């Protein structure tokens, strides 16, 4: 693969700091894109040789449990042998990431310049907005990240506060918990296609969740939501709206929810937006419109690892300041205020996110979103040409298509969803990935 080819690697403007791994093996079987005299079907069905497009893919690497056993004292051979094992696993992961196209995670990152912080115990215990007795924190960096995301989510300066969480589920628990504290007798509503964690925290709060059907565009049917509320006259509502569903990438019409429920007689509403996936895509689509606080949301969640790219999961949650007063309290043990769900909090993630955003900025995130939408459109066209029956919701970077063979599912990290699977266009994915996947699909069907 020619690494200078614009279709071979993500444009450097979209990159945090990407060091491409060797692609001599990864590029084996690469086919040229469509062009004069080369229709889509030729790309789909081309077989320059008998090997699949994933030739050279490293086989699964699973260490023997005996090599990993922890003993009473230093393990025999610990040290050099452990270093070798970990080196092999790291090399495998870096090589293998080239074929991960089925999950909403961005692998276009490299945080090794921050390796020195692995020798520091960073702990952001308590609120990001007040210092604590533990001085090795990254709270100033966390506040800078939160201020940035507040602007992306349509909030005015000083209107919202929040914190950096361990991931989307914690962020959603925090937002829904705010609503339940405000309205203990509320009915909890969510889209039928909302994140699977909805059932987890409904059980945690000992609440039933009313699942609302989705419309033709994949988003929640707002009139169906209003009808469901009418069946509980006088009851408050806690609504979890989704911007970027896990399986289709569809987005609920957040701006339509509050007016529709007002017409349905709902006078007390807490509206939480799960924008873990779409929260860093839809703000950068021309003409999309309000989707978060400027659309009437009370709390908003965004992922830290999906579009930005991190080595570990992370999330961001924000809420209107007045709604945090009921959960804010003082922790004398560590001399700080607190409104978070957890005690000790990861102080490294805020530093990683800040470092990435300083190099991307709002313009870089917008470029990434445009790149992902372009790749999704390209994948949709090629998959259609190959007869894979692709479907894509409006403004989505996810393309679902007919379920391929077990080998293709495994090799490309595609999710087995019955008779369908899906391709997720993320910043690390290029047109070359799409072409190789489609070639592999054509070969697997022979």
Active site residues: 396
Give which of 268, 280, 301 is closest to 176, Cα–Cα. 301
Residues 6+ away with beta carbon under 8 Å from 183: 236, 237, 238, 268, 270
CA gap 19, 29 in Å, rounded: 22
The single-letter DSSP state of residue 34 is P
Strands 237-242 and 187-191: parallel
**DSSP one-letter string for 49-101:** SSS-TTTTPPPP----HHHH---SSSPTTTTHHHHHHHHHHHHHHHHHGGG--
Give which of 359, 394, 342, 391 is closest to 16, Cα–Cα. 359
Residue 172 is encoded by which pair of tokens?
A: 């959603």
Give which of 366, 368, 387, 364 is closest to 376, Cα–Cα. 368
Q: What is the dihedral of CA 330, 332, 336, 338, to 10 degrees?
A: -40
> Which residues partner with 240 through β-bridges?
190, 272
For residue 442, give Cα distances in angstroms to 44, 348, 382, 434. 6, 44, 11, 12
For residue 253, give Cα distances in angstroms to 210, 259, 430. 18, 11, 30
């Amino acid at each position: 693969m020619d690494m200078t080819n614009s279709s071979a690697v993500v444009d450097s403007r979209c990159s945090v700091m990407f060091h491409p791994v060797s692609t001599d093996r990864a590029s084996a079987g690469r086919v040229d894109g469509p062009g004069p005299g080369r229709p889509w079907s030729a790309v789909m069905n081309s077989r320059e040789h008998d090997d699949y497009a994933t030739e050279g893919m490293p086989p699964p690497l699973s260490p023997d449990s005996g090599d990993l056993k922890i003993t009473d004292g230093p393990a025999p051979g610990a040290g050099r042998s452990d270093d070798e094992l970990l080196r092999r696993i790291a090399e495998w992961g870096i090589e293998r990431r080239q074929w991960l196209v089925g999950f909403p995670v961005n692998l276009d990152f490299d945080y090794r310049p921050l390796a020195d912080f692995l020798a520091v115990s960073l702990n952001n215990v308590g609120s990001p907005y007040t210092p604590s007795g533990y001085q090795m924190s990254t709270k100033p960096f966390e506040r800078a990240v939160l201020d940035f995301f507040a602007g992306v989510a349509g909030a005015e300066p000083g209107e919202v506060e929040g914190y950096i969480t361990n991931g989307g589920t914690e962020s959603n628990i925090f937002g829904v918990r705010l609503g339940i504290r405000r309205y203990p007798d509320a009915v909890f509503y969510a889209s039928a296609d909302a994140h699977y964690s909805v059932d987890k925290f409904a059980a945690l709060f000992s609440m039933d969740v009313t699942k609302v059907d989705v419309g033709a565009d994949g988003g929640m049917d707002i009139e169906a939501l209003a009808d469901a509320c009418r069946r509980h006259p006088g009851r408050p509502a806690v609504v979890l709206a989704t911007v970027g569903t896990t399986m289709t990438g569809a987005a609920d019409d957040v701006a339509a929810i509050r007016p529709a429920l007002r017409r349905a007689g709902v006078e007390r509403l807490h509206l939480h937006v799960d924008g873990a996936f779409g929260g860093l895509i839809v703000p950068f689509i021309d003409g999309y419109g309000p989707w978060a606080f400027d659309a009437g949301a009370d709390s908003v969640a965004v992922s830290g690892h999906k579009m930005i790219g991190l080595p570990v999961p992370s999330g961001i949650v924000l809420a209107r300041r007045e709604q945090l007063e009921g959960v804010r309290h003082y922790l004398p043990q560590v001399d700080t205020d607190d409104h978070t769900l957890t005690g000790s909090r990861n102080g490294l993630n805020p530093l990683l996110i800040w470092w990435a955003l300083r190099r991307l900025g709002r313009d870089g995130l917008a470029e990434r979103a445009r790149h992902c939408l372009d790749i999704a459109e390209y994948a949709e066209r090629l998959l259609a040409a190959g007869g894979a029956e692709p479907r894509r919701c409006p403004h989505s970077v996810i393309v679902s298509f007919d379920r391929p063979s077990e080998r293709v599912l495994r090799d490309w990290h595609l999710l087995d969803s019955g008779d369908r699977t899906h391709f997720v266009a993320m910043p690390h994915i290029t047109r070359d990935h799409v072409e190789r996947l489609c070639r592999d699909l054509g070969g697997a069907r022979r």
